Amino acid sequence: MRHYYTADAIRAAEAPLLATLPDGALMRRAAYGLATAIARELVARTGGIAGRRVCAVVGSGDNGGDALWAATFLRRRGAAADAILLNVDRTHPAALAGFRAAGGRVVQTISAATDLVIDGVVGISGRGALRPAAAEVFAANTAPVVAVDIPSGIDVQTGAIDGPHVKAALTVTFGGLKPVHALADCGRVELVDIGLDLPRTDVLGFDADDVRALWPVPGPNDDKYTQGVTGLLSGSATYPGAAVLSVGAAVAATSGMVRYAGSAAQQVLSHWPEVIASAGPEEAGRVQAWVAGPGMGTDDDAKAALRFALDTDLPVLVDADGLTLLSKDPGLLTGRGAATVLTPHAGEYQRLAGEPVGDDRVGAARRLADRLGATVLLKGNVTVIAGADGTTYLNPAGGSWAATAGSGDVLSGVIGSLLAAGLQPTQAAAAAAFVHARAANLSAADPGPRPAPTSASAILAHIRTAIASL
């Protein structure tokens, strides 16, 4: 499990160590970890450390001190070390003294012979884009960059970018991950343990092991009913494909049984003959969770079907046309006690919330979840899943292969199957998002090593492979 901490939480955890360790010890501990990571990167890129050249771009305060000490340690291992001081008067004095004593050079520009640049401009307290002097330095740079804690110019909490910023190949952070490490492009991220005693956090991220532990696996005494019966209200004469995709995803995600209720039964059964189809939800029979919305339209019949699902005491996932209906009549959720999962993209979010998502996607998802008493899965390259209790999962997709028509229908079916199997709504949404992203990446890489455009049908075809890979 990945845990993401605010800058305030990190600083509070550092305070006891700063009060008890010798002056500068915590910084040198962090810098040694940073230098070790940079050394590995140098070896991987150039084959060695001795004779290579690094350049630290140094801002004021501790972040610049970390960069200078790391450059000092690398200098002691035989690398040539340069430093550009963006604010000489506020450069960390002890770190600068150690750097100069080791033979480091203070320079004005990054040499063309530089093998690697260390971004020590701002740390977790920084705000806003790079200042002009720093932006000019990095604009002229062609060497790979290792960022200290965060790539400078990117907001630590939201991942927002509003101007010049550092593009990092590697980011080395200390103590605990920060939201930016999931929400923005930080290159590869390495975490250095510096001995912080961090509190519990409510911003999390699944690893493959977490999803594997949660994913329903039938036991020797299970049958098709005990494994979860998923009901789907999707598709229409206009959008029958939405039914085929959402139902197929529920089948692929190991539902014990899938029941379809809607007007696209013929198309669904031609693809998935194992599905039980009916004309409407009243005739569908017993289910353990409903998926409502993908391609079902927004007419009176669609609204009646959505109302039927929401009036039950079963978990319900609402997507696509169902979200449009909810945005027009949020009273459909009034009095609902069972779990509800909403899966909007940015436009659907704006219709539901009455305001755009904005830069703070975590805050936006949490506000809507709190207001509606639901789990909100805010789609994007980094999917944000916010529970009504404030617990939030971040799922970086690692690419935008899932940004294709019908992909959301597939995701809905997978989440619905996990809800039917009894998973809690935030965990069901987060685990499904993880598998969906993996399936999208697998489909883009099939059949060769070079990623290629994919489709919702191809993503669906790789759902089983993605699950099996866990």
Q: Splitting the chain (470 residues) into consecutive groups of 10 residues, what average pLDDT does each group show?
A: 96 95 94 98 97 97 95 98 95 96 98 98 91 96 98 96 97 97 97 95 97 94 90 96 98 92 96 96 95 97 97 98 97 94 97 97 98 96 95 88 85 98 97 96 79 86 95
Confirm whether residue 366 is marked as ligand binding.
no
Confirm whether residue 131 is marked as ligand binding.
no
The CA distance from 404 to 241, in Å, is 14
Confirm whether residue 57 is marked as ligand binding.
no
Confirm whether residue 380 is marked as ligand binding.
yes
Confirm whether residue 446 is marked as ligand binding.
no
Nearest to 180 by CA among 349, 386, 7: 7
Q: What is the pLDDT of residue 223?
A: 87
Classify domain 208-468 at the CATH superfamily level: Ribokinase (3.40.1190.20)
Cis amide prior to 356 (ω within 30 degrees): no
Cβ atoms 445, 261 nearer than 8 A: no
The CA distance from 160 to 195, in Å, is 29
Q: What is the pLDDT of residue 447?
A: 67
Q: What is the pLDDT of residue 421?
A: 96
Give Cβ neighbours of residue 169 (< 8 Å, ≥ 6 apart): 41, 144, 145, 146, 187, 188
Confirm whether residue 63 is marked as ligand binding.
yes
Q: What is the pLDDT of residue 446?
A: 74
Confirm whether residue 313 is marked as ligand binding.
no
The CA distance from 6 to 119, in Å, is 21
**116-129: string of b/e by CB count within 10 Å (b at 16+)?**
bbbbbbbbbebeeb
Confirm whether residue 152 is marked as ligand binding.
yes
- Helix ranges (H only) for 142-298 are 180-183, 208-214, 240-252, 265-271
Residue in the structure block whose two tokens are 């009036």: 311
- Give me the residue spans of the domains in the chain: 2-201, 208-468
Confirm whether residue 129 is marked as ligand binding.
yes
Confirm whether residue 185 is marked as ligand binding.
no
Confirm whether residue 65 is marked as ligand binding.
yes
Q: What is the pLDDT of residue 254?
A: 80
Classify domain 2-201 at the CATH superfamily level: YjeF N-terminal domain (3.40.50.10260)
Q: What is the pLDDT of residue 458?
A: 94
Confirm whether residue 163 is marked as ligand binding.
no
Confirm whether residue 382 is marked as ligand binding.
yes
Give Cβ neighbours of residue 261 (< 8 Å, ≥ 6 apart): 231, 232, 233, 277, 278, 279, 280, 281, 283, 284, 305
Q: Specify burial of residue 446 (Cβ count, 10 A radius: 0-12, 13-18, 19+).
A: middle
Confirm whether residue 213 is marked as ligand binding.
no
Confirm whether residue 33 is marked as ligand binding.
no
Q: What is the pLDDT of residue 181?
A: 97
Confirm whether residue 195 is marked as ligand binding.
no
Q: What is the pLDDT of residue 226?
A: 87
The CA distance from 315 to 427, in Å, is 13
pTM, to two decimals: 0.94
Cα angle 289-372-418, degrees, rounded to a multiple of 5: 25
